[in-house]
Amino acid sequence: MVHTWDPERYLTYADERGRPFAELVARIGATSPSTVVDLGCGPGNLTALLAQRWPGAEVVGLDSSVEMVEKARATTPAVQFRVQDLREWAWAPSSDRIDVIVSNATLQWVPEHLELMESLVARLRPGGWLAFQVPGNFDEPSHTIRAELAAQEPYAAHTAGASHPDSHDPVVYLDALQRLGCEVDAWETTYLHVLRGDDPVFTWVSGTGARPTLQALPDHLRPGFEEEFKRRLRAAYPSRDGRVVLPFRRIFVVARVGAGS
């Protein structure tokens, strides 16, 4: 089943989701790039920051979600946005070379995305930059509870083929990109997001990691699944004085292609 994205739900925690992007881009040393591509641009609010950082560059945002691109075009008209799968873009024959490629919280949705590194590096000019960030929290209750519940009946028959995100440790990306001749800066950070509202962790994951599972369920089963999911998340992430702390590990990689590449 092909799932769809809801830009408004995704933007519920826009500040928390945007902070890793800002910290990733701050480590890119490009001064005056001509071309910047944002792979998995989502609703475009963060792509706009790339246009602000490099006002002289042609900035292009790509996303496979029609809904996300429509939102991006409506809110950020100064940037070019296209509906395109990043794998198709990476693998497409092209003589054009890019100065900066950015991908924020997207590659975890691409199975075997480590194999894409060579194609992405090949799309860069000598001295060009590849920067990406992926979640590294898939052993946390926000993900394990979803997987455990989805594997139970009566849900398992519907959720077995649902997409789920995955990523590697920083050293794996560092090794892969060094082998491709890049200078690599890789690190990880665990954020402690303080969330408020009713079932805030469910609100967070239902806009991202849990969305394919929820959409895979038929209408008559989804409410029961959601209520049990919320109950288990409340137990795993208790509220204190109306606040819930969500630990969130993220993995960052900034690589520069060698001048002789």
What is the model's pTM? 0.91
φ, ψ of residue 236 in degrees (nearest 5): -80, -30
Q: Which of 248, 233, 29, 24 is nearest to 149 (CA)?
A: 233
* Domains of the chain and CATH, by start: 7-257 (3.40.50.150)
Residue 163, pLDDT > 70, answer yes
245-260 tens-digit pLDDT: 999 999 999 999 986 5
Looking at residue 15, its pLDDT comes to 72
What's the pLDDT band for 127 if we cut at 50, 70, 90? very high
Contact partners, residue 7, CB within 8 Å, separation at least 6: 42, 43, 67, 68, 71
List pLDDT tens digits, range 191-215: 999 999 999 999 999 888 898 999 9
pLDDT at 177 over 80: yes
